[in-house]
Structure 1
Amino acid sequence: MPTIKTPIIPIHQTFAKANAPHELDKKAICIFAATGFFLDTDTYWKDKKVLPAASENILDDNGFLIESKPWFQWHYSPRDISFETALEEFTSLFEQIISEQLEDSKVILPLSGGLDSRTQAVALSKMKNPVTSYSYSFKGGFSESGIGKKIAKVCGFDFKEFTIESGYLWPKLEELASINQCYSDFTHPRQMAVLDEFKKLEGTFSLGHWGDVLFDRGAPEGTTESELLETILKKVVKKGGMELATALWQEWELEGDFESYLRERIVDLHATIKIENTSAKLRAFKSLYWAPRWTSVNLSVFDVAHPISLPYYDDRMCEFICTIPEEYLAARKLQLEYIKQQSPELAKITWQDHRPFNLYNFQNNKYPNNLPYRIGNKLKRTVKEKMGKPYIQRNWELQFLGMENDEKLQQRLFSENLHPFISKPLLARFYNNFKTVDAVKYSHPLSMLLTLSVWYCCTKVYDE
């Protein structure tokens, strides 16, 4: 009988059969609608499960899961070491992992204005591997490519600039559905817009996903257990997600109520994590349930173009994090000091989250020091909007705003008869709320309904 051992943070979902009826798991789909990802081992179907993270699984010859047990438990065992020692260990481990993952391959490096990819850029600049870097910006939005280009220049990397155009999603919906199997909403993987350009590049992707979770405080100091549960709920449920999930729950006439069911699931999963420190416990929860079922799902788009590597996903990095005091992880201290120590020139480049400040003076990003920039930025946006050029900040704005997008959205939502999966009155309710009540709040429900409608049409199967 085959045994499958999953990594601490799996890059790919591994499915197994379960002894259950072949019917939709409507409760699981409601959680998906609320959060944007399936929870724990859930899938669309009751007889199909995803193998848990950091587990050893025994399957029979027909693919049915017989036994599953964890081989690694997230823990918080801080060592009595100095910050300097922690930094030296991080430097050695991080650079070793990147070197081993890439070997002598050419490298494709996405560059953002943040810290994770910049940390990778430091390590890669010390290696001999040829690096092609790139950034992409929303058309009409902040030029993230401007920061990426500066980082690439300091490191001596080739650089390409991509623009995410309005409405890129519509001709690619079926392709995206085949790539991620509709296990993520369709408006987040913006890399889909430049997939054809990715395929023209050569090498292995070095992706910086999950660094911001591992190398920062999970929850504010002093957070209690009860407060942590509420924090988890607030973090996982998207704007408008609770309303959509509740509407589906009621339409499908499921027993009880959705919010109680979700809360019960979160409480049960939270209880399995034997960590007293609430900051470390939240990081563990995210790494167990959020990373594999949301972040990893969207990695599949990169994987279609070229092999992928993720230094922050490495088992050794996860084990290392469990031994580092929270105070060293808080406020991104390790990454900040690594960049400043290894490449002062990179540290002088604007940190996007604290623009116009950099890694040396980002503490000044507060009133009144940041007032001139905020006023100037507001004026620029106002002028553009008066000229009929709205400032794009979020991916859904490129997909759902404007007449052409609206026409294609309505076609996708209403041209197919989704009954009895989702009724037209429910679709119309959330579409109209997006158009007339609050576009920001209802953008997530609209994206989820689009995802569910495409999934339903692609499967061509519905078991009542």
Structure 2
Amino acid sequence: MKITTDIIPVHNYFIGDKTNLDLEAICVFAATGFFLDQDSYYKEQKVLRPATRYELNEEGTSVLKSSPYFKWHYTPNERPLNEVVDEFADLFETIIKEHSQGNKMILPLSGGLDSRTQAVALKHLGIDTHAYCYAFKGGHDETLYGKKIAASCGFPFQGFKISEGYLWDVIEPLSELNNCYSDFTHPRQMAILDAYQTMGDVFSLGHWGDVLFDDMGVPENLSFEDQVEVILKKLVKKGGWHLAETLWQSWQLEGDFKSYLQTRVIKLLKEIDIPESANAQIRAFKSLYWAPRWTSVNLAVFEASKPITVPYYDARICEFICSVPERYLAGRQIQIAYIKKRMPELAKLTWQAQYPFNLYTYHYNKTPWNLPYRIFNKIKRLSKSQLYIQRNWELQFLGTSNDEELKNWLFESDTFDDLVNKDIRNQFYKLFKEEDAVFYSHPVSMLLTLAVFSKKR
């Protein structure tokens, strides 16, 4: 049996038995929100690595041979930015056209650049497209951006408000889709799953464009040791160290968690080996480990409704990125220039990350030019009588009814007692409720995920 995994896989392929829990791997999951490299919940079960050709036994349960066919690299082909943009335009539009195959595409829009770039390509190619966007109830209305982008492209558009507490009605079906390999606070699309049926035929999803088409914000000559520290800071979520170290000690694992994770990151980063560019090396690390083990996991929610395409995952995009000089990737220059080239009017619409500026004026998003907006926005937020929702977890964890559901999952499950001590669950719940909700929202979310996993297994 032969399997070839994609450079950035949409699906994780598991082999091996579910026998003994891999507690070290679960500690990493608790700290970061995803499993690292080939890890799973079980010691005997592993995930096949990206960009690798595998030969398995007839039952598909063990690896006989494996050989990688692609290695992330940095081989910049020096040419002017306008040539790079033209290359990107030809390549991206070719991919979008191939993905559509005469189908009506469903495009999730946001105020960012990835979906806007897709919208430009779909419009330029004349592909039938239905766009939509969602926003938090009580939060910043992201549908305003999506509606304007869709109108500029002539796409039909639907806007949705994601209400508080939607998670509890869908948490078990969601766990069947992501198999508890991601926490449950991020896939807002689960709240509107039924609405997709009438929108179109195939999703065009914009995942991972923001990683591939930007720099990593570090000097090109950043030392290997400092790269490890940057990755650890990016990997571990707020409160993640605390939860993982607490679990590590409670399970009486050998050594200490921080040294364990640091050693693993060092080993994986050395395998990448791109000494010419710290940005390219960190991007490769994220594409090998974040993308398939975190980003891809909840793509299953979209796929439960309609077939999906992910243009930025395409192998040709990965190869293209390796050939682009880092100075052109910095600051999202390629996507910005492409949008300006194909649809200048769309470039004039507000860029959410640089609000209230657009793709022509975002350079002014600094003092003193943005000071009036910052003052106005702060006054507006302070004047609101209700809580201003900014984060996914606030919709699911805050408020009396949400709290009751959360406590039920954390404390009323006998199966969870076998995995995580109730004193630990009480400790982090109290820290979330009484000390710092923002800092301890991640640990609570991971404990909820482990609670659901305990029930499923």
What TM-score results when the alignment is normalised by the length of structure 2?
A: 0.98
| Matched-pair contact (CA < 8 Å) for 1:219–1:278 | no
Matched residue, 1:51:
48
| Matched-pair contact (CA < 8 Å) for 1:219–1:282 | no
Bigger shift: 127-136 or 180-189?
A: 127-136
Matched residue, 1:3:
2
Q: How does 1:58-69 map to 2 (within 5 A)?
A: 58-63=55-60, 64-69=62-67
Matched residue, 1:229:
228
Moved over 6 A (4+): none
Matched residue, 1:23:
20
Change in 2 beyond 3 A, CA 1:57/1:219: farther
Q: Return the letter of the residue paired with 2:301.
A: V
Q: Return the letter of the residue paired with 2:79.
A: I
Q: Percent identity?
A: 55
For the pair 1:203 / 2:170, whether they are aligned, the reply is: no
Q: How does 1:55-454 map to 2 (within 5 A)?
A: 55-63=52-60, 64-221=62-219, 222-276=221-275, 277-384=277-384, 387=385, 389-417=386-414, 418-454=416-452
| Matched-pair contact (CA < 8 Å) for 1:273–1:281 | yes
| Matched-pair contact (CA < 8 Å) for 2:109–2:131 | yes
State the 1:420 CA deviation: 2.4
SS at match of 1:109: strand
Measured against aligned partners, the alpha-carbon deviations of 1:337-388 in whole angstroms (never above 9, x if no partner) come to 000111011000000001000000001111111111111111111111xx2x
SS at match of 1:4: strand
Q: Return the letter of the residue paired with 1:52.
A: R
Matched residue, 1:13:
12
SS at match of 2:452: helix
- Matches of 1:323 and 1:233, distance apart in 2: 27
For these two proteins, the number of residue pairs brought into alignment is 453
- Matches of 2:417 and 2:148, distance apart in 1: 52
SS at match of 1:108: strand
Q: Return the letter of the residue paired with 1:90.
A: F
Bigger shift: 368-377 or 178-187?
A: 368-377
State the 1:128 CA deviation: 2.9
State the 1:48 CA deviation: 0.9
State the 1:240 CA deviation: 0.3
- Matches of 2:289 and 2:362, distance apart in 1: 32
Q: Return the letter of the residue paired with 2:350.
A: T
- Matches of 1:437 and 1:66, distance apart in 2: 51
Measured against aligned partners, the alpha-carbon deviations of 1:400-428 in whole angstroms (never above 9, x if no partner) come to 00111001100111111222211110000
- Matches of 1:173 and 1:232, distance apart in 2: 31
- Matches of 2:243 and 2:51, distance apart in 1: 32
Bigger shift: 343-352 or 81-90?
A: 81-90
Bigger shift: 412-421 or 284-293?
A: 412-421
- Matches of 2:309 and 2:12, distance apart in 1: 16
Q: Return the letter of the residue paired with 1:356.
A: P
Q: Return the letter of the residue paired with 2:246.
A: A
- Matches of 1:125 and 1:316, distance apart in 2: 21
| Matched-pair contact (CA < 8 Å) for 1:6–1:52 | yes
| Matched-pair contact (CA < 8 Å) for 1:218–1:281 | no
Q: Return the letter of the residue paired with 1:457.
A: K
Q: Return the letter of the residue paired with 1:293.
A: R
Q: Name stretches of at least 5 consecutive residues in structure 2 with no aligned partner.
A: none
- Matches of 1:366 and 1:129, distance apart in 2: 38
- Matches of 2:99 and 2:222, distance apart in 1: 37
- Matches of 1:69 and 1:268, distance apart in 2: 19
Q: Return the letter of the residue paired with 2:392.
A: N
- Matches of 1:67 and 1:201, distance apart in 2: 43
- Matches of 1:199 and 1:29, distance apart in 2: 36
- Matches of 1:129 and 1:318, distance apart in 2: 24
CA-based RMSD of the aligned residues comes to: 1.0
- Matches of 2:396 and 2:445, distance apart in 1: 9
Measured against aligned partners, the alpha-carbon deviations of 1:115-141 in whole angstroms (never above 9, x if no partner) come to 000000100001232111001000011
- Matches of 1:323 and 1:217, distance apart in 2: 14
| Matched-pair contact (CA < 8 Å) for 1:302–1:308 | yes
Matched residue, 1:462:
none
Measured against aligned partners, the alpha-carbon deviations of 1:50-80 in whole angstroms (never above 9, x if no partner) come to 1001111111012212222211000000012
SS at match of 2:389: coil
- Matches of 1:363 and 1:127, distance apart in 2: 30
